[in-house]
Amino acid sequence: MKGLLLSCLIGSCALLAGCGSTPASSSVDDSLSKALQAHTAGKLDEATVAYFETLAKDPKNKFAFYNLGVIAQGQNRAAAAEAYYRLAIEQDARMGSALFNLAILRALAGANQEAAELYRRVIAIDPNYAAAHFNLGLVLRLLGQNAEAQQELAKAQQLDAKLVAPSPSASPAPRVSPSPTR
């Protein structure tokens, strides 16, 4: 799946380059492609450097910020991950993957009300995002909003039969959106 995603991303960059992109945007695409390749290969230090190269050329590149967040989250650096996701969201308030991962971090930090609001934003962007409904249901349980929690958990299972409502003591699954992303 990652290989297919990467192939599509690289193909998209090639198409954009062939459609009259400027040298500056081509340079950004090259840096981002280099970062994505390193990230996919598990070369996280190399990917981090390349994402920062991308940001040096395009300081508002939401994909670089997002993927730096994914790397930081995978390394259990929650504060850094949160900062990068917030920067990605500043660039694109509808970036569902950044909102979803930020919601996970906020839930893990005990900020359940904020996590619920973030999951609702994800669902507003993509009403069929089963994992967002599922995690929202779990957070709502923690907030004591059991009726709404049950509705969200039922919706999650309707969208993805593998998502079975856990016992009421369960906490949100710390899933990270697939990465790298572009």
pLDDT score at 49 = 96
Candidates 73, 71, 119, 64; CA nearest to 91 is 64
The tens digit of pLDDT for each residue in 143-152 reads 999 999 999 9
pLDDT score at 61 = 97
- pLDDT higher than threshold 90 for residue 133: yes
Q: Domain 82-182 - what CATH class?
A: mainly alpha
Can you give the residue ranges of every domain in the chain? 1-59, 82-182
The tens digit of pLDDT for each residue in 6-52 reads 333 333 333 333 333 444 677 889 999 999 999 999 999 999 999 99
pLDDT score at 10 = 35
Find out whether 39 and 67 touch, Cβ atoms under 8 Å.
yes
Start-to-end CA distance of the chain, whole Å, equals: 15
pLDDT score at 168 = 66
Give every CB contact of residue 178 below 8 A, 6+ residues apart in sequence.
Answer: 1, 2, 5, 97
pLDDT score at 21 = 40
* pTM listed for this prediction: 0.79
Find out whether 17 and 167 touch, Cβ atoms under 8 Å.
no
Mean pLDDT on 128-153:
97
Find out whether 35 and 149 touch, Cβ atoms under 8 Å.
no
pLDDT score at 81 = 98
